[in-house]
Structure 1
Amino acid sequence: MTTRRLAARTAVPAALFLAALAPVGAVPSAHADSVGKSAAPAAAKGIGDCPSARLCVWAGESFTGLMTSFRVTGPGRCQFSSFHTYRSAYNNTSTGQRLWQYFPCTGANRFIAPDSAISRIDALSAVGA
């Protein structure tokens, strides 16, 4: 068997094997601008990293761990965190938002006022108006 044929026969199984090993969170995700789309997480240092006019959530309490930011969510819209649950949030917008237990914005929820922070949240996973 030639080297070219051998490479072609092993390339697909190797790619499938590597894809199976990749953690789900490492897959690039869509921005939270669309209904039902998640925002890509990023490592963050705290509230100061939350961009203006965004609602930011962190995987850890006290604004630690991965951070995802969302644009203001309008009535009837729902967005979810790409790391499934978040434990702290900062609303750096001028609009109140709701933090929801489940996607699509069902279950227990908590209101977060404009320009306010919650350092400890019982694992929530969605953001909506």
Structure 2
Amino acid sequence: MRKKTLMALMFSATLAVSAAVSPMAAAHASEAPQDAGSAGIAMKISTKGLADCPIDHICVWENTNFSGRMGAFPPVFTGECRTFSIGYLSAYNRTVWRERLWRSSSCTGGNVIIYPGGQLILANRSYSVGAWP
């Protein structure tokens, strides 16, 4: 019985620590550009397209029409930049914030604004997402 109680306490402590150091908190701690693969941001093969994008996330796909590998991440705030080494050609903003989709991997140069609820197919591959303004 003691062993089960100890195991339950250890599991609860692990969950508490995991919640305290979430990928969202870690992602917002740094203003340096981060690659989706190294920032704890979900990268997966999308089979459903738009339906795969979680609420309160920005999602980007490597191909047009919301197909191929998908990156999903929480809103990017002012001064932050997220990079995607695979590049993307379609994007969906399921947050309440305006975001900028940048052609470069450092949130500089050509960009387009994606508004809350917006879905975009891009003519040129883009590599980063940064906050409005």
TM-score (structure 2 length as normaliser): 0.68
Task: Name the structure 1 match of 2:88.
Answer: 86
* Structure having the higher Rg: 1
Task: Name the structure 2 match of 1:120.
Answer: 122
Cα distance in 2 for partners of 1:43, 1:121 equals: 22
Q: Mind listing any 5+ residue stretches in structure 2 that lack a counterpart?
A: 1-22, 38-42
Cα displacement string for residues 24-59 of structure 1 (whole angstroms, at most 9, x for unaligned residues): xxxxxxx68254222232101201100110000000
Cα distance in 2 for partners of 1:88, 1:121 equals: 9
After TM superposition, the structure 1 = structure 2 runs for residues 13-92 of structure 1, keeping only pairs within 5 Å, are 33=27, 34=30, 35-40=32-37, 41-44=43-46, 45-83=48-86, 85-92=87-94
SS in structure 1 at match of 2:65: helix
Q: Which amino acid aligns with 2:105?
A: F
SS in structure 2 at match of 1:47: helix
Q: Is the 8 A contact 2:84 2:105 kept in 1?
A: no
SS in structure 1 at match of 2:125: coil
Query: How large is the RMSD of aligned CA atoms in angstroms?
Result: 1.6
* Residues paired across the two proteins, number: 98
Q: Which amino acid aligns with 2:114?
A: I
TM-score (structure 1 length as normaliser): 0.70
Tell me the CA shift for residue 122 of structure 1: 1.3
Aligned residues with identical type, % of pairs: 36
Q: Is the 8 A contact 1:55 1:91 kept in 2?
A: yes
Higher strand share: 2
Q: Is the 8 A contact 2:64 2:122 kept in 1?
A: yes
Q: Mind listing any 5+ residue stretches in structure 1 that lack a counterpart?
A: 1-30
Tell me the CA shift for residue 98 of structure 1: 0.2
